[in-house]
């Protein structure tokens, strides 16, 4: 396959522990659209929510957009790192419409700024929420605006940083429990359901890599 470089579809390649990992938006699109997705929870008692895992190029590197919730006492998501999104409302015509609406409400990113790749799957939480995750490419980037009462800051995280942690922590090929599965980043940690979503996403990328067979040796 010949990979074409342009403003949005750039090749990202890096080497870690002797492993060369090469991804680009075209490859990720193919991976996600052909992947087995996390299934819907077995019961209907889950509260439906939708989030976006947005990928974008920054300094010729793939990044993921995340938010950190505010440090409000009593807030159930206090200080947690999350993907932008929220609850599905009765007025939403579909889950993906809810995801787009929440994306705009939370961080001022509109539907015309996103190339939708597709769903990553369902991720239930311990407090009976079902999170439907959509993956998209954030293009035509404009100013991010958010409510400081709900969000303390927006984080742009290099994908390769998360992949390096994934490999070094020997997460590849297994699902660690909630206490072990952590992606540390400077002064914060990604844990809980957001870590599970990122873990699933990275597993898909690595399993499709020609070098994946070497990962278990580290």
The tokens describing 12, both together, are 């990202």
**Residue whose token pair is 């609850």:** 87
| pLDDT band at residue 4 under the 50/70/90 scheme | very low
**Tokens 């299934």 — which residue?**
39
Give the residue from 204, 212, 207 showing the smallest Cα distance to 117. 204
- As a whole-number percent, the residues of the chain with pLDDT over 90 amount to 58
Q: Count Cα neighbours of 65 within 13 Å in the Cβ-side half-sphere.
A: 25
Higher pLDDT, 211 or 135: 135
Tokens standing for 72?
């409000």
pLDDT tens digits, residue range 54-105? Answer: 999 988 889 999 999 998 776 666 789 999 999 999 999 999 999 999 999 9
Walk me through the domains of the chain, giving residue ranges and CATH numbers.
Answer: 12-209 (3.90.79.10)
């Amino acid at each position: 396959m010949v990979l074409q470089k342009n403003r949005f579809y750039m090749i990202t390649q890096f080497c870690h522990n002797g492993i060369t990992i090469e991804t680009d938006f075209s490859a990720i699109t193919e991976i996600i659209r052909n992947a087995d997705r996390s299934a819907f929870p077995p019961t209907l008692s889950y509260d439906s929510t939708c989030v976006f895992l947005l990928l974008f190029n920054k300094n010729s590197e793939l990044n993921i957009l995340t938010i950190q919730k505010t440090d409000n006492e009593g807030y159930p998501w206090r200080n947690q790192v999350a993907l932008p999104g929220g609850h599905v409302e009765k007025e939403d015509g579909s889950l993906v419409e809810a995801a787009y609406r929440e994306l705009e409400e939370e961080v001022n990113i509109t539907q015309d700024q996103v190339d939708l790749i597709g769903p990553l799957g369902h991720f239930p939480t311990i407090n009976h929420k079902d999170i439907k995750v959509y993956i998209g490419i954030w293009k035509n980037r404009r100013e991010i605006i958010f409510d400081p009462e709900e969000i303390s800051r927006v984080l742009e995280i290099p994908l390769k940083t998360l992949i390096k942690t994934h490999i070094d922590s020997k997460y590849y090929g297994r699902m660690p429990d909630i206490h072990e599965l952590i992606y540390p980043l400077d002064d914060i940690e990604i844990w809980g359901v957001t870590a599970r979503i990122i873990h699933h996403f990275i597993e898909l990328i690595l399993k499709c890599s020609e070098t994946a067979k070497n990962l278990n040796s580290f």
